[in-house]
A and B are shown apart, each in its own frame.
Chain A
Amino acid sequence: MTRSGWFWVAVGLLYFLLPLAATAEFSFKDGDSYSFAAYREIFDDPQFRDTFFLSLKLAIVTIIVALLLFIPTVYWVHLRLPQFRPLVQFLCALPFVVPPIVLIVGILYVYNYQWVPGKYLGSPYYLVPGYVVLGFPFMFFALDNAFRAIDVHTLTEASQSLGAGWTRTLWKVILPNILTGALAGAFLTFALVMGEFTMASLALFNTFPTYINYIGQTKANPAAALTIISFGITWLALLGILFVGRRPGRTAVQVGGGAR
């Protein structure tokens, strides 16, 4: 490798690592010495637990809905309705370019007091439909790749010729083969929901990211600790994909704009 090559690699590493190092240092800082005080303060805060578990629940519901929505869709697009692919692909790429803030403003406008039963309007699960949409690109492309890697036609025909019905074919034959893709999509969606601030904040719900912001306005060191925790969650999600997929960075679909 050339010397300028090493230079750019070094620039990249520095840019990536320096803010982390700085934040980590800051999160351990306790006056003139270092301690876990900031972390202890966070973990002892009941609000941390409430918001963290709320975001966790939202993430799980979002993932379940997205999987239920996409597995049959992608399966059918591959098996029977390839002519729908351009449309589905277009719709799934849209959230890449439509800003989350536009989406939430639109959702708030359409699904307001006149339309939505009160108990859902006040419930944080109000956010789930929008999160599912933000997760479209992740789920679709992850599953699409997984389906592309297997021969859906042959597997389906083989399964049916052996006497299995549709449900059994999907459940026992297709699903195990696309599990990697489904999990990759799930991990990305998880990272997305655990970091999503825009929609939650504008819809006035207290999720984990809005809690981080709230702490940030008041307490500096605990905010740094939360930043490290949040970063750790993103890491876990991405490592999860690596672990199930063993194909690092194979596709460009590992990124979206949800968290920003």
Chain B
Amino acid sequence: MPFLAWAAAFLLVPAGALLIGAFRTQDGEFTTEFFKDIFKGSSLDAYVKSVEISLITALLGGALGFLIAYAALSPGAPRLLRPAFLTFSGVAANFGGVPLAFAFISTLGTVGMATRALDAMGLNPYDHGFTLFGFWGLVVTYLYFQIPLMIIIIAPAIDGLKAEWREAASNLGATSTQYWRYVGVPVLLPSILGSMVLLFGGSFAAYATAYALTSGHIGLVPLKIGELINGNVLSDPHQAYALAFGMVIVIAVAMAIYFVLDRRASRWRRSVQ
């Protein structure tokens, strides 16, 4: 199949080659130097920062996205909300990169619309240590695609919550809290966890938004890789391969965590036979 050839040539081979590249010098000799380097100094800081921002935006985006999706898509909501939110989310989740950074500069930049409005109320965020071009600014910006991404991914799971479960629980004497604790959350948990892992991956991989927003100055792993590849002739590209390989490891670990959690949360989905 030509498809398999294509996937091998442009997905598996490049990704696999990084494994080799990460352990080689420019002259082709084997070395663990670059790989060891990613656990040190600024490289390690970059991983920590990348993971932090990805975790925070995955958790926040996941929680907000779920609450919004549940409000807009549950059977009690007005009919029109559903297609409106799913379409909006489709657009917003696909809208990212450089334009997204500019959109937030217009909104929460030093003279952005929201900044001016808050300033008028005496709450200028820049007086309280906030800057759009730092860590939390990035978090707020990433949420613009994380929330809608969550809405879209979690929608089928919310649709799968049957009205009968809620009614049966209530009929058997459960309060709303008890319903969520014993039924709603356990049933949704695998989907929520899975979605959050995807959100994590989305943030972790993001390059363009952070690049445009901070002019490459915030030390995230993708930006560091970009710096090493992009024109910085003095540096060794094999350092970039090691960093990229490290990203693959982080993603693999995230996926592994997800599979373990999902298995535990969904015994009831597996067949026993």
Contacts and interface: CB of A to CB of B under 8 A. Distances in A.
A252 B131 CA distance: 33
Contacts of A188: 94
Interface in B192-219: 198, 201-202, 204-209, 211-212, 215
B46 interface: no
Interface string A245-260: 0001101101111011
Contacts of A249: 83, 86-87, 89-90, 152, 155
Interface residues of A, number: 89
B11 A197 contact: no
A252 to B, nearest CB: 5
Contacts of A21: 113
A237 B92 CA distance: 12
B98 A19 contact: no
B248 A98 contact: yes
Contacts of B10: 107, 129-130, 132-133
Question: Which label, helix, strand, loop or mixed, suits the secondary structure of the A interface?
Answer: helix
A20 interface: yes
A108 B237 CA distance: 10
Given A15-B143, A198-B207, A107 B94 contact: no
Contact of B212 (A7, A12, A18, A213): A213
B247 A213 contact: no
A223 to B, nearest CB: 5
A239 B87 CA distance: 8
B226 interface: yes
B266 interface: no
B257 interface: no
B148 interface: yes
Nearest to A12: B68
A23 B102 contact: yes
Interface in B73-98: 74, 76-78, 81-83, 85-98
B23 interface: no
For B3, B101, B153, the residue with the greatest tally of chain A CB atoms inside 10 Å of its CB is B3
B133 interface: no
A257 B143 contact: no
A162 interface: no
Question: Which label, helix, strand, loop or mixed, suits the secondary structure of the B interface?
Answer: helix
A158 interface: no
A52 to B, nearest CB: 13
Contact of B106 (A15, A26, A107): A26
Nearest to A200: B208
Contact of A105 (B12, B95, B231, B241): B241
Interface residues on B, range: 35 or more
Contacts of B113: 18, 21-22, 25-26
Interface stretch (A42-50, A68-76, A149-157, A170-178): A68-76
B86 A195 contact: no
Interface string B236-272: 0100110010011001000100000000000000000
Nearest to A94: B11
Contact of B112 (A22, A70, A202, A227): A22
For A84, A103, A106, A201, the residue with the greatest tally of chain B CB atoms inside 10 Å of its CB is A106
B161 interface: no
A91 B87 contact: no
Interface string B1-37: 1111011011111111110010000000000000000
B225 interface: yes
Contacts of A257: 96, 201-202, 205-206
A76 B1 CA distance: 9
Contact of B225 (A101, A191, A227, A242): A101
Contacts of B48: none
Of all A-B residue pairs in the complex, the 10 with the closest CB atoms, nearest first, are: A106-B14, A249-B86, A99-B205, A22-B113, A197-B208, A5-B71, A12-B68, A8-B71, A260-B206, A260-B96
Given A132-B6, A197-B97, 10 more contacts: A12-B151, A97-B201, A102-B205, A103-B15, A107-B10, A133-B7, A201-B208, A212-B102, A216-B98, A230-B95
Interface of B: 1-4, 6-7, 9-18, 21, 64, 67-68, 70-72, 74, 76-78, 81-83, 85-107, 112-114, 143-145, 147-149, 151-153, 155-156, 198, 201-202, 204-209, 211-212, 215, 222, 225-226, 229-231, 237, 240-241, 244, 247-248, 251, 255
